[in-house]
Structure 1
């Protein structure tokens, strides 16, 4: 009986190709982006815990969200994008903290929300930022505006946000030094940087930009108003859901994103219940935020619903750090308000799609007579 001949040279030659395939697979996972975003979010939180100032965590967290911008851009352009995004995040934090310190009534808070949406969309459209949505600006404003704030705490809160944003800027730009150190291996280890955003100073004249702003304003007013009318405890979640579902200017209107938002959030809430209901220490919350940020960045470009399995524990842990509330109430509010916001956004998407289709038919040239 003969035994198969083992060809060592064939195996040896196949190893480099296998390694290259693994490298390509790892690059496709956006590990570089995920690591940067996680470090920018978690390191400031660890410092605050060590300093005994976890009450400042929410400001550091939103400052750290600066690291979510600039992905896939060459570093010269990324420096510009991340700087603009940092200014947007800090402006949103400052606006929210100012509203909280003033004890602003609902009408003023709502006006502030509308201003954040308008300026956020215009800023993103003008600077060509990605993600192309004011979601993080709205999230920062709405949460910071809800945190009870003494006027004497305004400047320290803004300073923490600024330090968080500055650290996120450094982490986001650190890839330049890492790639430079890797030299010849850079192409094998890291993804290409194909995105080249352009400044568009005429964005404020773009009808699609204002259409997007109009859709968001209508959606957040309806969703937020319904949440307040029903008496739900965290109405800003309904607002955030609307902004998360509606597309950026010029993007295709999709109904799938609304369903992904709702069902992904429900699954994420069930997972979060396992974490928060036992009453974990603050270190567990920070670990949850870190894992949530990492997983979200890996999955967000592939499947929005799956990414929400990580986004939901992240968001709820941040909210719980900002203003602790009964966990069961927190979880129920999240599901109900996400469903409400998603449903409102779905209606806005369907109405907008129908209106755009009618406008296209009216502008289409009529067929010549036979």
Structure 2
């Protein structure tokens, strides 16, 4: 695979690359990439889109590290209490491995690291203090504004969050930092200050944030806005059936975004088409080899939401099915990680 082919794989389904020239230069060699997840709430389909991207990295010959950022989960307004960190970290690793496998890659090719394995080391801690001494409150707050829960009087942990995430890039020896576009502020800070702390400015790849099923931004606290990895086929069908998907409109249309960024890449990996079942009186079934054709028919009115939704729900449910089955074997772990939801 030449550099151009590797670049296409690594950058597809991303919103921004900072910078493409730097990434191209990296891909002439054998770079490493990392993505971090703070183990807070249950993982959902929005996480799956970024996990699927890791399959592209692996196929392009990029070494991949997944950071289970347990300390970050606590620093962000105590979203995960200390007594739940171990269980939630284990759950995240199990769920992520299942998603990587469902996307067509081998989870054994991914290295998993927990933040507590290195973020308490003396060298890391001393460097964080140096950063803290040189970084203003306003700069740290601005960097974290899209990630950390905000308030008029922010907690100190939220201000340390972007400094630690910056140091994570150095500690994990990552050439590429990958995450949602909400991470942009933090990684721009990393590119700015890391060279003064013994590291290199990372190349940054940002994934788009998908719309919620109820329109607008996906909300972790709103059940109807997302598909959970443990949702039954019936629950998926109900959520997609009630989703915001006005005829001919693309903006805030989570149904179409799920198809574009998750379903079609997985179908492509499997060598399968997306089929919309439709009565003969309305033109019969529609068969799509790529997402662009779906979007074109949806915009023209050839494909109506009433026909799209059931087929989209079935396809989404099929994609998450291996993950759902894997988590069904982890009832004790789920109960330990989320006692308020799965505990007795």
TM-score class, shorter: under 0.3
TM-score by length of 1: 0.22
Query: Computing the radius of gyration over CA atoms, which structure comes out larger, 1 or 2?
Result: 1
TM-score by length of 2: 0.23
Task: Name whichever structure is richer in strand by fraction.
Answer: 2
Which structure ranks higher in relative contact order (CA pairs < 8 Å, sequence separation ≥ 6)?
Answer: 1
Task: Name whichever structure is richer in helix by fraction.
Answer: 1
